[in-house]
Structure 1
Amino acid sequence: MEYASIGDDILVKLLTLGDKEAFEEIYRRYWRKLFQKAQRKVYAREIVEELVQDIFINLWEKRATVQIQTLEPYLFTALKYQIISHIRKQLQEEKFAAYAATESNDEINSLEETIAYHDLSRSIQQAMEQMPEKTRHIFRLNRLEGKSTREIVEMLNIPERTVEYHISQSLRFMREHLKEFLTWCLLFFLK
């Protein structure tokens, strides 16, 4: 069978049946396009290659269960979320590095405190990933980037009440999702 002449919709059907050659054809068609798109957002070639490779690994691993209506938009949406995830992780690492650089060795006096900080960061990240996209975006702007409500209103061109609502929702969401973690931290640091 000549896979190069087969349409995307047929390739997807063959992929769901486990056809390795269909997967390889999808890879040939879209790897460069995805790579070029990712390189506009993430400049390190190795990271771009890894992000694109992860998309194809996930596609192959989930081939039997994945629901793809149209292949190209599916792949580019997957790429968008891979890039967002990478940038989020990178920002988190940079924030921690900046924090650690400003603290003296005397202030970071135990391994337990460092582990607790990492656990808190991870818990916050996991909670943020569960928020609705708009709420998460506004929370990030307000709490992580330090933007005021007015700045967010101007930046996103949405009503002030909407921004306040999303900030309020995100804080309520964080309190709820971090309740167990914060209780544990309180007990840990009071011992």
Structure 2
Amino acid sequence: MPLYNVNDDNELFALVKKDNELAYTELYNRYWQKLYFVAHKHLKSDSEAREIVQEVFFTIWAKRRSLAIESFPAYIASMARYAVYVSLARKKRQAEKISEEAIQQQTLPAALADLLENKWLLEKISALSTALPEKCRLVFIKNKLLDQSLSQVAADLDISQKTAEAHLTKALKIMRDKLGDVAFFLML
């Protein structure tokens, strides 16, 4: 059985490319602790650091025949750093996603309550507007619900702007009496 501890890293990797598992084991024994230290320093997690080291060495073995490595120590250190950066970026994205979900969960009930309140108010206003005189109802719907200007409403209904204002005033008074002051302010 040959002694691989006397070979340099690049010679060992040349043997690994020829499927030599003992040379691979020697490289693993030489570098696992160094890679673990680098990964643990950044990730502050034993399990994640071990996973990074395993991933790096798995990739080396899986791609051994296609890799063209000039300096094994530099290459493996770069692989470990890159794996750490990927892990940190993934953690950051997960934290942002969790934060975003928490914000959405807090705002969703409030938005839902507003939507339900607005729907209720719109239904109430629509029901009450049917009780208005015809011209008052048309002016009210076009101005308040369809958001048309009074001059545009007057032109559409072929009435003067003063008449449109009078119809709107009458409609709002009736609505205020029926809905109450609080709901009236919501309509304005």
Q: 2:76 maps to which residue?
A: 75
Give yes or no for contact 2:40–2:48 (8 Å, CA) kept in 1: no
| Cα distance in 1 between the residues matched to 2:88 and 2:52 | 11
- Aligned-pair distance for 1:107? 3.4
Q: 1:15 maps to which residue?
A: 16
Q: 2:104 maps to which residue?
A: 103
Q: Unaligned 5+ residue runs, structure 2?
A: 110-188
**Identical positions, percent:** 22
Structure 2 residue 39 is matched with structure 1 residue 38: yes
| Cα distance in 2 between the residues matched to 1:68 and 1:37 | 21
- Aligned-pair distance for 1:10? 0.8
Structure 2 residue 49 is matched with structure 1 residue 48: yes
| Cα distance in 2 between the residues matched to 1:46 and 1:20 | 25
Q: How many residues align?
A: 109
- Aligned-pair distance for 1:104? 1.9
| Cα distance in 2 between the residues matched to 1:81 and 1:93 | 18
| Cα distance in 1 between the residues matched to 2:11 and 2:69 | 11
Q: 2:131 maps to which residue?
A: none
Structure 1 letter corresponding to 2:18: L
Q: Deviations over 1:51-89 (max 9, x none)?
A: 111000000000000111011100100011001100111
| Cα distance in 1 between the residues matched to 2:92 and 2:106 | 23
TM-score by length of 2: 0.55
Q: 1:29 maps to which residue?
A: 30
- Aligned-pair distance for 1:105? 7.2
TM-score by length of 1: 0.54
Q: 2:91 maps to which residue?
A: 90
- Aligned-pair distance for 1:39? 1.3
> Greater Rg, structure 1 or structure 2?
2
| Cα distance in 2 between the residues matched to 1:84 and 1:39 | 12
| Cα distance in 1 between the residues matched to 2:78 and 2:66 | 17
CA RMSD of aligned residues (A): 1.8
